[in-house]
Chain A
């Protein structure tokens, strides 16, 4: 196989980049979720979304 170093670098950066990003999102979510009461942690949908500036 030719260009092994380039292949490892190219594929590696994609797997590490995506995996690292996914891991950081999940970790941040776990931390924030611990501070938000369950009744406030329901996902809204586009239909029941409120308008920006409304409280």
Chain B
């Protein structure tokens, strides 16, 4: 059994693995590629099989939003009542959020090459704001490692943690606020223009991403807790040793 595992995490972990296998089936076998016929030219248009990348790109972006939201909530609680539990949850969630944001950027870039004919577009506000969000999350993780007392570190990182949620809102709304400065489309889920099975697979991928996030968060939180205990136990041991040495000298 792993050091941070429990029955809940094992069940959840197995469910995520089965879900991942099911997602691969749904994404590559059950759903159709995006192919439409252009009304004027009669040619085939659409994203073709590249559309299957949305089943990993969209959940990665959604999980990044969620993870940074949890970090911001944790940061607010830390600033209010100095809770160690929320400080560790905020840090664990930010690390997973950074991973998710990086995956969203990479998969988006891979999807953009065949569809937009470019790996990256500096003028696109959503790409740029997502990159800023990713960099800010790295900054948050760096601030957590700065020298100082536990209280100072927690306060400093909590302030940066709150900035993350502001940036999440900007990223999410960017395609509407600056609709002429983005290659991204606005939300298509509400338009009901996506086929049923494609829509189901998209929602399933987001649900699976959520389950994977919860699994990782539990393990990462428990690791952070163990590291904290290890640090404190090591300190206690050193103090005991010094005390024993001092007593040995005085007698």
Contact = CB atoms under 8 A, between A and B. Distances in A.
A and B associate in one complex: yes
Interface of A: 1-4, 6-7, 9-11, 13-15, 17-18, 21-22, 25-26, 28-30, 32-37, 40-41, 43-46, 49-53, 55
B78 interface: yes
Contacts of A43: 222, 225
A46 B83 contact: yes
Of the listed residues B110, B114, B149, the one surrounded by the most CB atoms of chain A closer than 10 A to its CB is B110
Instruction: Tell me if B's interface is mostly helix, strand, loop or mixed.
Output: helix
B107 A10 contact: yes
Contacts of A15: 20
Given A32-B226, A52-B150, A25 B219 contact: yes
Contact of B3 (A1, A17, A33): A33
B46 to A, nearest CB: 10
A44 B85 contact: yes
B222 A51 contact: no
Interface string B74-96: 00001001111111000000001
Given A14-B107, A49-B84, A26 B53 contact: no
